[in-house]
């Protein structure tokens, strides 16, 4: 059998014996065509192809496909498209969505109303964050679920980093009957793509950096409402406009208040001033 580029592409994309999944097949056909075009356009060599495949295997072994997707802006792209769909439907209110990122794990412990979510093994500036969960018409959502996850003082996440106590800085917090939630932790630092990782390898080749500015992730949900996945950014981080994952959004850059009122310190049994963030979430109707 002899093929040309055109006939080979046609053969690859039509060589199915049963329908498979129509949508996956259509996406795959398009991707394969783009790949062929790229290989032809750049005269990709055998060595380059094998180097790429070796790197793909390394990426998989390191569990970094999700990290790379964030770094290529793919998560932000999906958010932009979701925003556009909402706009077309006339939905313009609600808390801005932001990327989930690759470091979410399910199964965090459930606590009610207020929880201390750091395990107390690290030193840092105490952060109290609290707020209310609202629906689209300004109604409070009783018992909304606020799931939160953030990095420790070394910029790593529990479970992903097994050296941390399990579910450190990961919690599901059930808001009270007025939709109020709160938690205590430490002000998180920013973090970077792991050095010597397959993702960093490709960033080096692209002349890019892998920094994420300090942030805290959330998934907020309640029956009858659409789940919100978002994050808040700490203000003033030097990488706030250079996020590797392109996730910073202006409405999600919070204001941090320094609290040193002795009465407030006593309320949390603290001796040092702490950081306070008030942030309300607004969900859409499901
Ligand atoms: Fe993160």
Digit-coded pLDDT (tens) for 218-241: 999 999 999 999 999 999 999 999
pLDDT confidence of residue 35: 98
Q: State in Å: Cα 273 to ligand 1 middle.
A: 25
Q: State in Å: Cα 66 to ligand 1 middle.
A: 12
Q: State in Å: Cα 32 to ligand 1 middle.
A: 32
Q: What is the pLDDT of residues 99-152, one digit of tens each?
A: 999 999 999 999 999 999 999 999 999 999 999 999 999 999 999 999 999 999
Q: State in Å: Cα 218 to ligand 1 middle.
A: 10
Q: State in Å: Cα 97 to ligand 1 middle.
A: 14
Residue whose structure tokens are 């050296």: 163
- For residue 275, how many other CB atoms are within 10 A of its CB? 18
Percent of the chain with pLDDT over 90: 97
HSE, side-chain direction, 13 A CA sphere, residue 265:
11
Residues 45-57, mean pLDDT to the nearest whole number: 98
In whole angstroms, give the CA distance from residue 178 to residue 34: 52
Q: State in Å: Cα 151 to ligand 1 middle.
A: 7
Q: State in Å: Cα 272 to ligand 1 middle.
A: 27
- For residue 40, how many other CB atoms are within 10 A of its CB? 11
pLDDT confidence of residue 93: 86
Q: State in Å: Cα 261 to ligand 1 middle.
A: 31
In whole angstroms, give the CA distance from residue 186 to residue 272: 13
Q: State in Å: Cα 137 to ligand 1 middle.
A: 30
Q: State in Å: Cα 109 to ligand 1 middle.
A: 19
| Cross-strand pairs, 225 | 285
Q: What is the pLDDT of residues 256-272, one digit of tens each?
A: 999 999 999 999 999 99
Q: State in Å: Cα 101 to ligand 1 middle.
A: 6
Residue whose structure tokens are 């049994």: 269
CA triple 217-124-179, angle to 5 deg: 40
Residue whose structure tokens are 């793919």: 74
Q: Residue 228 in contact with residue 221, Cβ under 8 Å?
A: yes
Indicate the pTM of the whole model: 0.95
Q: State in Å: Cα 199 to ligand 1 middle.
A: 16
């Amino acid at each position: 059998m002899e093929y040309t580029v055109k006939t080979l592409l046609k053969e690859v994309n039509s060589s199915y014996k049963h329908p498979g999944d129509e949508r996956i097949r259509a996406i795959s056909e398009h991707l394969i065509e783009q790949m062929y075009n790229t290989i032809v356009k750049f005269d990709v060599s055998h060595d380059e192809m094998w180097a790429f495949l070796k790197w793909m295997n390394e990426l998989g072994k390191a569990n970094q496909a999700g990290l790379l997707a964030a770094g290529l802006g793919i998560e932000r792209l999906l958010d932009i498209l979701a925003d556009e769909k909402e706009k077309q439907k006339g939905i313009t209110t609600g808390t801005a969505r932001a990327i989930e990122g690759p470091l979410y794990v399910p199964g965090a412990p459930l606590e009610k109303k207020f929880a201390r979510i750091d395990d107390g093994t690290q030193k840092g500036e105490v952060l109290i964050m609290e707020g209310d969960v609202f629906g689209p018409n300004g109604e409070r959502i009783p018992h909304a679920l606020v799931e939160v996850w953030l990095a420790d003082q070394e910029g790593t996440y529990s479970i992903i980093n097994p050296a941390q106590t399990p579910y450190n800085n990961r919690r599901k917090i059930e808001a009270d009957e007025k939709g109020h939630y709160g938690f205590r932790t430490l002000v998180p630092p920013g973090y970077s793509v792991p050095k010597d990782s397959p993702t960093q390898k490709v960033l080096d080749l692209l002349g890019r950096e892998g920094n994420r500015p300090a942030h805290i992730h959330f998934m907020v949900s309640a029956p009858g409402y659409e789940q919100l996945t978002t994050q808040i950014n700490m203000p003033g981080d030097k990488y706030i406009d250079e996020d590797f994952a392109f996730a910073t959004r202006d409405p999600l850059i919070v204001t941090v208040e320094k609290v040193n009122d002795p009465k407030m310190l006593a309320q949390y049994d603290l001796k040092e001033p702490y950081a306070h963030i008030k942030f309300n979430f607004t969900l859409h109707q499901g």
